[in-house]
Amino acid sequence: MPEISRRKILHVDMDAFYAAIEQLDNPGLRGKPVIVGAPPDKRGVVSTCSYEARPFGVRSAMPSRTAHQLCPHAVFVPVRMERYAAVSEQVMAILQEFTPIVEQVSVDEAFLDVAGVLHAWPDAVMLARALKQRIHSRLRLTASVGVAPNKFLAKLASDMQKPDGLTVVPATEPEILAFLAPLPLTRIWGVGKRTAEQLAAAGITTIGRIQQMTEPELAPLLGQAGARHVWRLARGRDDRQVETDVEEKSVSAEVTFEQDITDRTIMRQTLLELAEKVGRRLRRAKKSAGTARIKIRFRDFRTITRQCPFAAPARSDRDLVHAALSLLAKEKLRDPVRLLGFGVSRLTDTAAGQSGQTQAPLFPEWDSAAPAERHAQLDQAVDTLRERFGKGIIKRGRWQT
């Protein structure tokens, strides 16, 4: 059977994200029905509830008062958006470790296009499994993942076996049609309650029924554009791309330590590795940076950032590492550190003379090039080797500062 597409798209969706973070941060809440949102005595709604609250009928966007009636022993906790955003950043950073093509669609959801990185994996399912494991081992949170040939199917799939699910949509057209056929119309992207009711009035209640119809038959019910949209999705057709930030405005990387640290040697080593990682991504994007910054988060989640401009647009590891370590050196750190980050911004296209060719020779005519450019060229040659043969192949000497 022909594959309808060679694309491999993952949709990653964290499970009961806010409630799971509350249970993570407060062990007393684990195993209990937790409702994140307005307290029941106030006018307001449920933002997220833990899986323990769901059998009682509690759902997102429901008035808190109703939720309290359904589940009187539930613990209500207020929304702590800053904390969720911080964890979200960590989740997204983990996804970036698998592929640079990540489209974040909300605080706890993203699409990944992994077709270009599958050579390093037995298949997309193994990659998805590793991704779930990495999120769990680093953050102690679970994600549900859908693997499919396109975004529409991947998103449907991630929702099918929550929590901690991994659902794979088959890649051939007959299998996709069979997978979609029994599902209700509201599973089609853009078909809300109202449209579903209109279609139900015409005797159409499943995606399978739409599959038996033609586009012109649907048009009187949905309009021409609507008919086209619904007809295509009912057949599992969707060629939207996974869109990374169109113009990347900054590149950054960060790491959360298993245990809070006070040892500056470890901090320096960590920043060095982060700066090299950022450097690789910067050069791959054929960009140079105008500003460097470090981010330090302490044990109590207080977070500081410090930045400095580069004297000239920078893209070599040497310049990035130097900036990162000098920014760190200026900080007096009284409290233990739980997270370190390094990033660059004010990105510009690397000028034509500073060739961004990936085929750069390992030993170019360095004598004619400026010293900073020489470093960037060596870095790029190393990047190419690493991409071809794996990261372990070259260990760079440690930078002196």
Q: Which residues bind Mg ion (CB under 5 A)?
A: 13-14, 17, 108
The helices-and-strands tally (H runs, E runs) of the chain is: 12, 13
Q: Which residues contact 292 (CB under 8 A, 6 or more apart)?
A: 307, 308, 309, 310, 314, 320, 323, 324, 327, 342, 343, 344
Q: Looking at residue 63, what DSSP letter applies? A: B
CB atoms within 10 A of CB 116: 10
Which structure tokens are listed for 127?
């990659």
b (16+ CB within 10 A) / e for 318-353: bbbbbbbbebbeeeeeeeebbbbbbbbebbeebeee
3-state helix, strand, coil in the chain (%, to 5): 45, 20, 35
Q: Which residue number, 17 or 98, has a Cβ lying nearer to Mg ion?
A: 17
- Rounded to whole angstroms, the Cα distance separating 333 from 298 reads 9
| Radius of gyration, CA atoms only, the chain | 25
Do residues 283 and 379 make contact, with C-beta atoms less than 8 angstroms apart? yes
Q: Is 109 a catalytic residue?
A: yes
Nearer to Mg ion, 89 or 276 (CB): 89
Catalytic residue among 89, 103, 109, 373: 109
Catalytic residues: 109
